[in-house]
Amino acid sequence: MEPLHDDSFVVYLRPAPRPAERPQLPERPIFVCSSYAEARQFCRRRRRKTHNYVIRFIGDVGGGD
């Protein structure tokens, strides 16, 4: 993603699974949050049966010496 989104959590909208004969629609980013808690709160407020939400961290991960 862009440098603007470094060290943030991005919420993606993923359409609910469809029958096997229909192709799955791609997920798309819809909201950028500064914390995981904020992203979870966003997902809870917008819960729908026709969509799922995926939260991904964008930025450097820790670890290593």
For the cut 90, the answer to whether the pLDDT of residue 6 exceeds it is no
Cβ–Cβ < 8 Å for 32, 55: no
Nearest to 5 by CA among 48, 53, 56: 56
Average pLDDT, the chain: 81
Contact 55, 5 (CB under 8 A): no
pLDDT at 62 over 70: no
| Rounded percentage of the chain residues whose pLDDT exceeds 90 | 42
Q: How many CB atoms lie within 10 A of CB 9?
A: 21
